[in-house]
Homo-oligomer: A and B are copies of this chain.
């Protein structure tokens, strides 16, 4: 196996196999994980991360693909991270996406990665930011993180992007679906896809109403735009990119982008810390200290809370 420095070097040059290998190293919690993360750190921060989420069937993959095409036309290197909650056991890729994405398969300026949601909570929240870091360090100027708007951790991943796009489609009672999934609060840009279908205007109006976009806002406040698209034909995609650029400029001017990134980093640090603490506690399972505390609890000498305090106090000394 190539060493970490070489892999990072090759990833910087845009070699897809090196990028793939690095993502595997970080999402699999390999022994080289820390070395990889340390090597990536100084190379990150250049990418603009766009979250894209919506209920199943609104056309997320088609929209992502159309956005990739548009960004490529503008000469940008693009990374795609597609999070698939429907296959908790595969650990692998989205065949459907792959097929739809196949037009980009031979383009060296596009890197597409699918990530299955793990069986346990927190797994995705932990793994996705690491993969984003790899794509960032590999020189992707834009990273689209596509998640299904079902399940808290998927929604959170999209919400923690620099800009979050919420996708809807007409005729699915979609506003209500989106509200249920809790994705109505998180959009910086809203897209009504499949706008050639009946009810697109009604969906846009409903959305406008639900978001209170008719109400006045403070000066300098961001007013999420609603863009209509027919992603399958590439219609309206330029307008989506324009809206994203506007949001980015708005954030930049006000220091909001830097603040969002700090919040995202803080969340990432917290997730890693809790995972590490969990692992340390699990390591204690065969340890005499835990056995001794447990024996004192069964003997009625100590209550389990006091025992947990002693355990936690001893943790950093491990």
A residues in contact (CB < 8 Å) with B: 33-34, 37-38, 40-45, 120-121, 129, 133, 258, 261-266, 268-270, 272-274, 276-278, 281-282, 284-285, 290-291, 293-295, 297-309, 311-313, 315-316
Contacts and interface: CB of A to CB of B under 8 A. Distances in A.
Given A277-B277, A312-B316, A38 B306 contact: yes
Contact of A273 (B42, B297, B312): B312
Contacts of A269: 290, 293-294, 297, 304, 307-308, 311
Contacts of A305: 33-34, 37-38, 272
So how many copies of this chain end up in the complex? Answer: 2
B294 A265 contact: yes
Contacts of A42: 300-301
Contact of A272 (B44, B278, B308): B308
Q: Could you tell me the dominant secondary structure of chain A's interface residues? A: helix
A271 to B, nearest CB: 8
Given A262-B294, A265-B298, A269-B307, 4 more contacts: A265-B293, A276-B308, A276-B312, A315-B315
Contact of A268 (B262, B265, B270, B304): B304
Nearest to A272: B308
Contacts of A308: 269-270, 272-273, 276
6 contacts: A40-B303, A41-B303, A45-B299, A266-B293, A269-B293, A270-B311
B302 A41 contact: yes
A299 to B, nearest CB: 7
Nearest to A273: B308
A231 B302 CA distance: 39
Contacts of A284: 270
Contacts of A316: 312-313, 315-316
Contacts of A43: 300
Given A266-B285, A291-B266, A273 B41 contact: no
Contacts of A274: 277-278, 281
B33 A300 contact: no
